[in-house]
Structure 1
Amino acid sequence: MAVVDRKSRIAIVGGGLVGSLAACFFAKRGHSVSIYEYRADIRVEDYRGQSIDLALSIRGREALRAVGLEEAVVDHHGIAMRGRMLHNKDGTLREMLYDSVKGNCIYSVSRRYLNIVLLNAAEKYPEVSLFFNKKIIDANVDNGKLKILDTKTKTIEGVEADLIIGADGAYSTVRRIMAKRPLFNCSQTYIEHGYVELFVPVGANNEFAMSGEHLHIWPRGEFMMIALPNDDHTFTGNIFAPFATLDQLKTPQDFLSFYQKQFPDLLELIGREKLVKDYFEREPKTLISIKCKPYHVGKTTLLVGDAAHAMVPFYGIGMNAGFEDILLLDELMERYNSDFSLILPKFTELRCEDAHAICELAMYNYIEMRDLVTRKSFLLRKSLDTFLHRRIPNTWIPLYSTIHFSRMKFRDCIANKEWQDKVLRRIGWCVMFLIIGMLMAPFVEVLAGKNAFSTEY
Structure 2
Amino acid sequence: MRARMIHELDGACWSYAYGTKGQHINSVERARLNQLLLAEADKYPNVTIYFDHKLSMCDFDNSKITLLHDNEKITHKADLVIGCDGSYSLVRQEMLKRCRLDFSQSYIPHGYVEISMPGRTLPSGATEPVMPFNYLHIWPRKEFMLIGLPNLDNSFTGTLFMPFKYFDALQTGDDALNFFQEMFPDFIKLFGSENLLSSFKDWKVAGLVSIRCSTYNYKDRCVLMGDAAHAMVPFYGQGMNCGLEDCLVFKQALDTHPHNLEAALDEYSRLRVTDAFAINDLAMYNYIEMRSKVNSKLFLLRRRVDSFLHWLMPNTWIPLYTTVSFTRIPYHLCVENKSWQDMVVNRLLLTGLLGGVAVTAGALWKWLGHRSPLSVNFSWKSL
TM, length-normalised to structure 2 = 0.89
* 2:139–2:146 Cα contact (<8 Å) kept: yes
Aligned to 1:189: 106
Alignment CA distance shift 1:380-1:204 (3 Å): farther
* 2:4–2:17 Cα contact (<8 Å) kept: yes
Q: CA deviation at 1:180?
A: 2.1
Q: CA–CA distance in 1 between the matches of 2:62 and 2:305?
A: 55
Aligned to 1:45: none
Q: Secondary structure at the match of 2:351?
A: helix
1:278 to 181, 199, 212: 199
Alignment RMSD (CA, Å): 1.5
Q: CA deviation at 1:154?
A: 1.2
Q: CA–CA distance in 2 between the matches of 1:415 and 1:280?
A: 45
* 1:142–1:301 Cα contact (<8 Å) kept: no
Q: CA–CA distance in 1 between the matches of 2:76 and 2:219?
A: 18
Greater radius of gyration (CA): 1
Q: CA–CA distance in 1 between the matches of 2:146 and 2:330?
A: 30
Q: CA–CA distance in 1 between the matches of 2:355 and 2:207?
A: 51
Q: Secondary structure at the match of 2:206?
A: coil
| Paired residues for 1:34-433 under 5 Å | 81-99=1-19, 101-150=20-69, 153-203=70-120, 205=122, 206-337=127-258, 339-431=260-352
Q: CA–CA distance in 2 between the matches of 1:204 and 1:149?
A: 46
For residues 296-322 of structure 1, give each alpha carbon's deviation from its aligned partner in whole angstroms, at most 9, with x where no partner exists: 000010000000000000000000000
Letter paired with 1:93: C
Q: CA deviation at 1:160?
A: 1.1
Letter paired with 1:295: Y
Q: Secondary structure at the match of 2:62?
A: coil
Q: Secondary structure at the match of 2:44?
A: coil
* 1:143–1:300 Cα contact (<8 Å) kept: no
Q: Which has the higher contact order (CA 8 A, sep 6+)?
A: 1
Letter paired with 2:49: L
Q: CA–CA distance in 2 between the matches of 1:137 and 1:434?
A: 63
* 2:118–2:156 Cα contact (<8 Å) kept: yes
Q: CA–CA distance in 1 between the matches of 2:216 and 2:275?
A: 12
Aligned to 1:47: none
Q: CA deviation at 1:393?
A: 1.0
Q: CA–CA distance in 2 between the matches of 1:202 and 1:432?
A: 49
Instruction: Report how many residues are paired.
Output: 352
Q: Secondary structure at the match of 1:107?
A: coil
Alignment CA distance shift 1:348-1:366 (3 Å): same
Q: CA deviation at 1:203?
A: 2.4
Letter paired with 2:37: L
Letter paired with 2:282: L
* 2:173–2:200 Cα contact (<8 Å) kept: no
Letter paired with 1:105: H
* 2:115–2:196 Cα contact (<8 Å) kept: yes
Ranges in structure 2 where 5+ consecutive residues have no aligned partner: 357-383
Letter paired with 1:95: S
Q: CA deviation at 1:204?
A: 5.5
